[in-house]
Amino acid sequence: MIGFNLPLLTGREQKYLKKVLKNKSLSGDYYFSQKCSLLLEKILKCKKVMLVPSGTAALEMAAILADIQRSDEVIMPSYTFTSTANAFVLRGAKIVFVDIRPDTMNIDENLIEKAITKKTKVIVPVHYGGVGCDMEKIMDLARQYHLFVVEDAAQAIAASYKGRYLGTIGEMGCLSFHESKNITCGEGGAILLNNPKLIERAEIIREKGTNRKKFFQGKVDKYTWVDIGASYLLSELNAAFLLAQLERIATVTRDRVRSWNMYHKLLKPLMDKGLIDLPKIPSKCEHNGHIFYIKTKNLKERTRLIDYLKKHKISAVFHYIPLHSSPAGKKFGRFSGRDLWTTKESERILRLPMHYDMGENDVKKIVKTIERFYQK
């Protein structure tokens, strides 16, 4: 069976985990946590990186830092994971969904302005598959209307837009290190703070609403509760595992992009015949090979292809059900304008196996199997 995803292992994880056990410091923000944060700041050229337990936690922290209140509105695509919306709904916001671009599956930057009202506070671009949204247009709108931009870069580590890493362009960015991501520690994430004014409060929120950070820095003689917050520290065990992977990030990204390019080259003849569509990368973007997908004619054909691949021991899966069509999406949000592409394209998309060190033979087998399906 060719699995859809195989979590990355670099070979250094056990060594670093043993060091954690030897040091007997298991909770967050110790040696390995600090090493990871500093390395990410260097790699991404980011002012401040804080490790958190998940990409979801990073989004929740961002919602607090954006000072989301009841009746505020937050603009985002409907084609995303539930965490993108949940983080802001938990603070009382109303979600305003905007249609996507069919070429990238990202929010259509040209439809955002029509969704802005007096209640709008935040725009959340989601960089689907590690391909950047049109951040130039989005940041221009944010400046014009005095809005926060929180980048959901959960899938986008080491990907860039016009030479800047995704997650470092808006006021805040959110990364995920879930098992399914390019770089993983099982469960984990990071919040990227690009506005220095947010750093001090972020440290308080991350430490359960206390000024514990200042206590350890010797700035106060005891720490106490000073703001809202939660337990947003990543454990030292996870951080040690993560460091082993971050040290290989350039190699991992090159390898995944190599597999992505091979898929695209071998499947292009099917696209040229009009049988499938393939992902498109805007000229301003450098992607990270996180996802490779094809688009079938419709939902029925996708279902048949999934079953066909499964019979040939290849695991391929669809992705998000649009949030605006879900029970919670109808309760906590509304769709701005018409849903021309979100539902239609979500029913066509089929993700193929993609992971580090995929063999050329596996890619060729998958492509040959898809070719046989369309020959029939």
Model confidence pLDDT, tens digit, residues 135-158? 999 999 999 999 999 999 999 999
pLDDT given at position 28:
84
pLDDT given at position 27:
85
Q: Which helix (H) or strand (E) holds 191?
A: strand 189-193
pLDDT given at position 203:
96
Contacts of residues 327-332 at CB distance under 8 Å and 24 or more positions apart, as own/partner, are 328/82, 328/85, 328/89, 329/78, 329/85, 329/95, 329/97, 332/85, 332/89, 332/94, 332/95
End-to-end CA distance of the chain: 22
Phi, psi (5° rounding) for residue 244? -60, -30
pLDDT given at position 338:
97
Interacting residues of 217 by C-beta distance below 8 A, sequence separation 6+? none
pLDDT given at position 352:
98
pLDDT given at position 217:
83
- pTM for the model stands at 0.96
Q: What is the pLDDT of residues 247-277, one digit of tens each?
A: 999 999 999 999 999 999 999 999 999 999 9
- CB-CB contact of 84 with 106 (8 Å): no
Q: Which helix (H) or strand (E) holds 97?
A: strand 94-98
Environment class of 18 (CB within 10 Å of its CB; exposed 0-12, middle 13-18, buried 19+): exposed
Residue 311: band (very low, low, confident or very high) from pLDDT cuts 50, 70, 90:
very high
Environment class of 125 (CB within 10 Å of its CB; exposed 0-12, middle 13-18, buried 19+): buried
Q: What is the pLDDT of residues 96-120, one digit of tens each?
A: 999 999 999 999 999 999 999 999 9
SS3 label, residue 149: strand
- Cα distances (Å, whole numbers) of residue 59 to 16, 87, 151, 283, 340: 28, 6, 9, 28, 27
pLDDT given at position 216:
81
Domains, the chain, in order of start with CATH, read 13-248 (3.40.640.10), 250-375 (3.90.1150.10)
The first and second tokens of residue 351, run together, are 């993700």
SS3 label, residue 66: coil
Look-up of token digits 């990364």: 175
pLDDT of 376 strictly over 90 = no
Q: What is the pLDDT of residues 10-46, one digit of tens each?
A: 999 999 999 999 988 888 889 999 999 999 999 999 9
pLDDT given at position 373:
98
